[in-house]
Chain A
Amino acid sequence: MLFYYMDIGWRSLRRTPLVSILMVCAIAIGIGITMTSLSVYHMMSMDPIPAKSDRLFAVQLNTMDDNTDWWSDDNMPFQLTFKDAMHLHKLKLNDRDENIDIRKTAMLVAQFAVHMNNDEMAPFLAMTRIAGREFFPMFEREFVYGSSWSQEQENNAEAVIVINQELNERLFGGSNSVGKEIYLDDTPFRIVGVMQQWDIHTKFYDVNNGPFDSPEPIFMPITLVEPNQIDTAGNTNGWKYGDINSWEDFLQSENFWLQFWVELDNKQETQRFEDYLLAYLTEEATKGRFEREVPSFSVRDVNNWLDYRGVVSEDNKVLVGLSFLFLAVCLANILGLLLGKFLRRAPEVGVRRALGASKRQVFLQHLVEVSILGLLGGSLGIAIAQLGLWGVRTTSGNYQALATMDLGMLLAAPAIAIVSCIIAGLYPAWLVCKTQPAIYLKTQ
């Protein structure tokens, strides 16, 4: 009977083309606007690294005195000081068990003027991620050419870098640039790897400076920070007053902040790492660095971290809510149009009832008709949503990867449209199916 209902529904829509077009347009506009905001929200809130988001953890240590205020909800700094981060970065946790090794990396971002030390290309500014070599396997980065720097190069703080595919295209026309040099400010760096393009929608590993910015095009070893006196482009606010008269003072201060990520594959590793953090904090407190009654730290996986940091703001949620309200207004209009359309058809329904259709069959027939309406509106709504997302992309450079519809959203659009239309059609369909057929049979 489904195909029969679809045939009846399609004929019915064609019988009243103006009303049908009005209803399709109403649902399309509602779906278009809803899907625009929902797609952005979906991309913002979706798991950025689903294969291992439950194994990558952002680490926080509370190395402040009790009753000291920070601007986080739980009064805990979002990042680690340079000395804490580097201590953990160099930590060997596999002393007791050679089979267990833990990937981890401290990281920060800095900005450099990039040039080729010639007159052919003007220098330009580029953000650079400064991290450990384990950043690449931790965050599943693949290479087009070469690889990441070696442990030895990292230990020796060699001037080596990894660039991304886009920068390699810009500087070297996409050819293999491994072994070639580029200048960051006044220092030449040798390229050891060209990383595959990273089209990530949320820069989850560093949400401090634009969580939806593109990943940095250049990566260099974290061990270069100290000898090269590389200052962070990030936060340098501290909780504690202290004399800072030299680079060494700054590195040891409570003002130089880094992100720290660790990959923990199971509960045992997590427990072991947390035990170490507790011991470390206790030891630091014993040294008199801060006064805390209870050592406090946090280890959050990727999705908890994004949630904790409020990457998807309340504004986004409100926007999605408002767009659904708009859809509801569209549906209210559709409901009115459907009421008029269906009740005008009551005489035909009377005939169908007289010829053997049950109320249930009449009800289903009308719901199939509104489903067709939803499918048409949903399809047109996708086109409107694409237009809306294009508008978002062109007005905000940071939303390039966010303002798109993935396959899930493309499938969700007609599904939401169909469900919405069914909801709008329930009352008119119920009303028309419960009318007494006898009333209309005599008066037709």
Chain B
Amino acid sequence: MLSMKNISKVYQTEKVQTHALRDFNLEVAEGEFIAVTGPSGSGKTTFLNIAGMLEPHTGGQYMLDGIDVGKLSDNQTADLRNQKIGFIFQGFNLIPDLNLFENIEVPLRYAGIKSAERKRRIVECLEKVGLASRAKHLPQQLSGGQQQRVAIARALAGKPRFLLADEPTGNLDSLMARQVMELLESINEEGATIIMVTHDAELARRAPRNIQVVDGQLADFTLYQNKTIEAVANATAMEV
């Protein structure tokens, strides 16, 4: 479903060249639930942004459902993102002056879905996250956990096959974090492919597949155990 070959990302300023990702290779199959861990600054979010087509990669090839993402125009990229990808952010990123219904409606508007279908999907998604009765509330009237559930509902509304979550429990207490994780697991069981960046080792362990990003490169969990254990241990120690 997702294939990254030798992906690199270089941030260039006048004097400094920063390699955020280098020779990054990853294959993700349909229906997988992958936890991405790694030290701060290792390139996890850059990987997630490139996977979500929020920023372009500098080199290599990124194929999503057989489509070479690097060759798409901005409009095509936006359409592909809208149709196939749902985002869940650490900071929820709900639009403050839109109520829950309207927040969830945003991706559906850009997808050109008709009013009646939009309404049906929004109600369905709000019911799924247990907030159907709060549809007219503004985000600031909800707790952090509830806001994240709305963000998940918004990500699900477009029926994406691919959910990208960037530290979705980072701003939540442990109880709410567990609830959100359970929600993600149930979504995964329904068939959605999920890639979740997290610093929470407990949550990462609940994911069937774990990958590590270290210095902009992928270290698979097995590799991590056998070959790069020292490097990862050092990196983790630095993070702590």
Q: Report A317-369 residues with CB < 8 Å from chain B CB.
A: 347-348, 350-361
Whether, in the assembled complex, A87 has its beta carbon less than 8 Å from a beta carbon of chain B, the answer is no
Residues in B whose Cβ lies below 8 Å from that of A351: 93, 95, 106
The answer to the question of A437 belonging to the interface, with a C-beta cut-off of 8 Å to chain B, is yes
Question: How far, in Å, is B211 (CB) from chain A's closest CB?
Answer: 20
What chain A residues lie within 8 Å of B154 (beta carbons)? 355
Chain A residues 410 to 444 lying within 8 A of chain B, measured CB to CB, are 436-438, 441-444
The contact size tier of chain A is 20 to 34
- Asked if A289 lies at the interface with its beta carbon under 8 angstroms from chain B, I say no
Cβ contact within 8 Å between A438 and B55: yes
Give the shortest distance, in Å, between A4 (CB) and chain B (any CB).
Answer: 5
Q: Are A357 and B90 in contact, with the CB atoms below 8 A? A: no
Interface size of B as a range: 20 to 34
Tell me if B14 counts as interface (CB < 8 A to partner A): no
Task: Point out the residues of chain B lying under 8 angstroms from A353, CB to CB.
Answer: 54, 78
- Contacting residue for A358 out of B75, B89, B97, CB 8 A: B75
Q: How far is the CA of A371 from the CA of B54 in the complex (A)?
A: 29
Interface residue A15 (Cβ < 8 Å from any Cβ of B): yes
| Stretch of B26-34, B79-87, B129-137, B183-191 on the interface side | B79-87
Q: Report the minimum CB–CB distance from B162 to chain A (whole Å).
A: 13
| A407 located at the interface, meaning its Cβ lies under 8 Å from any Cβ of chain B in the complex | no
CA distance A22 to B199 in the complex (A): 46
Min Cβ gap A341→B in Å is: 14
B52 contacts A by Cβ under 8 Å: yes
CA distance A444 to B90 in the complex (A): 9
Given B90, B97, B106, B158, which contacts A442 in the complex, CB threshold below 8 Å?
B90
Query: Chain B residues near A4 (CB, 8 Å)?
Result: 109
Q: Mark B174-202, 1 if CB is under 8 A from A, else 0.
A: 00000000000000000000000000000
Chain B, 66-94, CB within 8 A of any chain A CB = 74-75, 77-79, 81-83, 87, 89-91, 93
- The answer to whether B52 touches A356 (Cβ under 8 A) is no
**Of the candidates A11, A347, A356, which one forms a contact with B97 in the assembled complex, judged by CB atoms under 8 Å apart?**
A11
A158 to B201, CA, bound (A): 115
Q: Is the CB of B110 within 8 A of A354?
A: no
Chain A contacts for B166, CB-based, 8 A? 441-442
Chain A residue at minimum C-beta to C-beta distance from B91 = A444
CA of A188 to CA of B74 in the docked complex: distance in angstroms? 86
The reply to whether A355 and B82 contact each other, CB–CB distance below 8 Å, is yes
A1 at interface, CB cutoff 8 A: yes
Q: How far is the CB of A67 from chain B (nearest CB, A)?
A: 72
Residues of A within 8 A of B106 (CB): 351-352, 355
Cα separation A11 to B138 with both chains bound (whole Å): 14
Q: Which residue of B lies closest to A443 (CB)?
A: B91
When C-beta atoms are compared, the residue in chain B nearest to A352 turns out to be B106
Across the interface, which residues of A come within 8 angstroms of B75, CB to CB? 358-360
Question: How far apart are the CA atoms of A443 and B49 in the complex, in Å?
Answer: 13
**With known contacts A1-B109, A361-B110, A354–B74 Cβ distance under 8 A:** no
User: Min CB distance, A125 to chain B, in Å?
Assistant: 68
Smallest distance from the beta carbon of A23 to chain B beta carbons, Å? 19
Least CB distance from A5 to B in Å reads 10
Contact check, B111 vs A354: say whether CB atoms are below 8 A apart: no
Q: Mark B92-110, 1 if CB is under 8 A from A, else 0.
A: 0101011000000011011
Please provide the chain B residues from 26 to 70 with a CB less than 8 Å away from any CB of chain A in the complex: 45, 49, 52, 54-55
Smallest beta-carbon distance A150→chain B, Å:
73
Given that A353-B54, A444-B93 are known contacts, is A359 also in contact with B74, CB under 8 Å in the complex?
Answer: yes
Identify 15 residue pairs between A and B in the complex whose beta-carbon atoms are under 8 Å apart, listed by A's number.
A1-B109, A11-B98, A352-B110, A354-B81, A355-B82, A355-B87, A355-B110, A356-B81, A356-B158, A358-B74, A358-B75, A361-B78, A441-B49, A442-B89, A444-B91
Give me the interface of A with B, judged by CB distance under 8 Å.
1, 4, 11, 15, 347-348, 350-361, 436-438, 441-444
Report the 5 A-B pairs with minimum CB-CB distance, sorted nearest first.
Answer: A356-B82, A358-B78, A356-B110, A355-B107, A438-B54
Residues of chain B touching chain A, judged by Cβ–Cβ distance below 8 Å, are: 45, 49, 52, 54-55, 74-75, 77-79, 81-83, 87, 89-91, 93, 95, 97-98, 106-107, 109-111, 154, 158, 166
